[in-house]
Structure 1
Amino acid sequence: MNGRRVRLAVLAPLAVSSLALGAVTFSAPTATAASPTCSVRNTDNPNNLLVSGKDFKPNKSVAVESANGAEGNVKADATGRFSLTVTDASGTISAQQIGGPVVGCGTAEEGEQKNAKEQYREGFDQGFASVKKNCNAQQQGQQQQQQGIAPVDENFQRGFKDGADAAANRFCKR
């Protein structure tokens, strides 16, 4: 009789805990769909902005507007992403699918700032990597600029110089 009590004492907690875990598994919340988002950035043409979005309904039209009024329509791809170049946009840019929420993408001014930061970051990364690989790269880059090789964005140039300086301080003997 004592053996039966011992077995019950061992098995009962295991049975109760497995039932509790099963309940937790079944009551876990399901994943919710992501809300659509979009952003703006400048292009090479100062009159244009690139509006990009994601998590929109796939294969459905998206209307993009700015303070100037309607800017255009574009169809989201099979993954719910889109990009559209708009001309002479100003103020706040938004995107909306029929029956969906209006999504704020940003302002034309934010697009300019974002582009400047991206250019600086790209230049910094390239300058750092090039001097880390070869300590003479910084001097070679300065010689190319003096020889009149095609100039790049000034934010990129500043980033490249700062990245090259950081790498030189870290990896090169001076």
Structure 2
Amino acid sequence: MNRRIRLAALAPLVVSSLALGPAALLTGSAEAAAPSLVCSVKKSATAGKYDVSVTGATPGVSVTVTGGTPQNQFASTALADDNGDMTTSGFIPVGRVKAGEEGGTMVNCGTVKQAEQQDAQAQYSAGFQKGMAETRAGCAKKPLAQGFAQVDPNFEKGYNAGAQAALNSKACQGQ
């Protein structure tokens, strides 16, 4: 076969494959990407109660939250709102908390113990900040004001540590 004829026959094939290559890459998948659920567990103000927040659900679809142990279960189902969010609250026994859309895969939200630890750290930090600010204002430790509710022990520990840190600071040591 003549060399020119070979090139003439192959040229349209090469050009068409080069033209179709980028077009094939531009076409997207027919399926839309499924939303990805994200959830978290937080300790509620009510003793023993926990709040579970779910985001990224398909709006209007049932979302189920489960938790606990095989002997002691918690389950709650509600529709995701227009933003794909769902929140539930309940007395969740110790154990892992999961959430998932109806017929979908369950995702881990965390454990009740993790929620308690996060709450303890948040209470300590808030107490530390308040103790530091109130003590630094006059370089004298003020007693922690007790309201009608009992003060969280972690908040009180943080308050005392913050007050002590303020008393030991350069600002108060110079007075």
Q: Same fold (TM over 0.5)?
A: yes
Q: List alignment gaps of at least 5 residues for structure 2.
A: 1-25, 27-32
Match in the other structure for 1:141: 143
Please say which structure displays the higher CA radius of gyration. 2
8 Å CA contact retained: 1:57, 1:80 = yes
Match in the other structure for 1:79: 83
8 Å CA contact retained: 1:64, 1:73 = yes
C-alpha change, 1:160 and 1:107, in structure 2 (3 Å) is same
- How many residue pairs end up in the alignment? 141
C-alpha change, 1:129 and 1:56, in structure 2 (3 Å) is farther
Which residue identity does 2:111 align to in structure 1? T
Which residue identity does 2:101 align to in structure 1? Q
Shift of 1:34: 6.7
Match in the other structure for 1:167: 166
State the Cα deviation string for residues 27-71 of structure 1 (Å, max 9, x = none): 9xxxx8873221212223333221122222234321011133452
Shift of 1:150: 5.1
Which residue identity does 1:167 align to in structure 2? A
SS in 1 for 2:57: coil
8 Å CA contact retained: 1:126, 1:163 = yes
Match in the other structure for 2:56: 55
C-alpha change, 1:164 and 1:74, in structure 2 (3 Å) is farther
Measure, in 2, the Cα distance between the counterparts of 1:82 and 1:139. Answer: 44
Which residue identity does 2:65 align to in structure 1? V
C-alpha change, 1:149 and 1:70, in structure 2 (3 Å) is closer
Match in the other structure for 2:96: 92
Measure, in 2, the Cα distance between the counterparts of 1:111 and 1:129. Answer: 27
The reply on whether 1:121 has 2:125 as its aligned counterpart is yes
% identical equivalent positions: 32
| TM-score, length basis structure 1 | 0.65
Measure, in 1, the Cα distance between the counterparts of 2:74 and 2:60. Answer: 20
Match in the other structure for 2:17: none
C-alpha change, 1:34 and 1:61, in structure 2 (3 Å) is closer
The reply on whether 1:131 has 2:135 as its aligned counterpart is yes
RMSD: 3.0
Measure, in 1, the Cα distance between the counterparts of 2:90 and 2:131. Answer: 32
Shift of 1:110: 1.6
8 Å CA contact retained: 1:49, 1:89 = no
| TM-score, length basis structure 2 | 0.65
C-alpha change, 1:71 and 1:171, in structure 2 (3 Å) is farther
Match in the other structure for 2:152: 153
Match in the other structure for 2:9: none
Which residue identity does 2:42 align to in structure 1? R
